[in-house]
Amino acid sequence: MRFSFLGTQPSARSSGRLQPYQSLFVSDHADGTTVINHLAVDMHAHWLPGVDDGAKDFQESIEIIRKLSELGYRKLIATPHIMSGYYDNSPSFLIERFEDFLRKFLLENIDIELALAAEYMIDEGFKKHLDSDFFLLLPRKMILIELPILNAYAGYEELIFEIKLKGYQPVVAHPERYGYMHADLEKYEQLKDAGCLFQLNMLSLNGQYGKNVASIARELLDRNWYELVGTDLHNRSQLKQLNSIELNGHFLNHTLIKNVATPIPTGI
Ligand SMILES: [Fe+2]
């Protein structure tokens, strides 16, 4: 499938040298065609202001959205944290805040579609969401879940099983960032066997979370274990970090092209 060019720097491409931002969105195919805007939908970011550790205010939020729009994204899905003890956001509260935000956003005249999902922490507090069965979902009944960064919650496998049992598709956010799994890649295989999809955090690639995370991200890419990719942007300084990512054959592997480029822009 081919995508039309929606980027902002055509002159950089015609000069034969890609600007760093543009390199995020361009890949030359062997047959000479170009895949552009393969990341048309961002399914992980924290630009809904004032609800978690993401954008602090409306202005920062708009800066992030405007830049992603300029980069060629056509749809952005906010995924604020739902994390008991830290960000006890209920789905209904987030919907209310999102609707308030949209009312102001419409006055900004930015041509992009916005949507709301959430990033659910898999720990003790997640059980109440399972019981309520009221989730803020990504498309196709996907639930974006994260595991604790330092130590896994002992019951996470059971909770993932229950997510599947209720007919949802768990998507594990940034699996490369869970240091306790680095020494034992079988743990990743177990998540795969449990039916999870993996979502790469784009900023993991440039060492923002350390060399080990970057190296595991490359390893998982080489194994074709990622199906999805997200920016996980929280603020304007991370927005600048996108500038330093050099995407290459590792990133644009067949799994990501197949699962990110083709079905998602047409299926959402
Ligand atoms: Fe996140």
Confidence at 194, pLDDT banded by 50, 70, 90: very high
Confidence at 25, pLDDT banded by 50, 70, 90: very low
pLDDT in tens, 91-103: 999 999 999 999 9
- From ligand 1's centre to the CA of 11, what distance in Å? 33
Return the pLDDT at 26: 46
- From ligand 1's centre to the CA of 170, what distance in Å? 15
- From ligand 1's centre to the CA of 45, what distance in Å? 6
pLDDT in tens, 117-159: 999 999 989 999 999 999 999 988 999 999 998 888 889 999 9
pTM: 0.82
Q: Any idea what DSSP says for residue 164?
A: H
Return the pLDDT at 216: 94
- Residue 186 C-beta-side C-alpha neighbours within 13 Å: 1
C-alpha distances (whole Å) from 107 to each of 17, 101, 111, 123 are 36, 11, 11, 39
Return the pLDDT at 213: 95
CATH superfamily of 10-267: Metal-dependent hydrolases (3.20.20.140)
Please, which residues have CB within 8 angstroms of residue 220's CB and are 6 or more apart in sequence? 175, 176, 188, 198, 200, 226
Q: In the chain, where are the structural domains located? A: 10-267
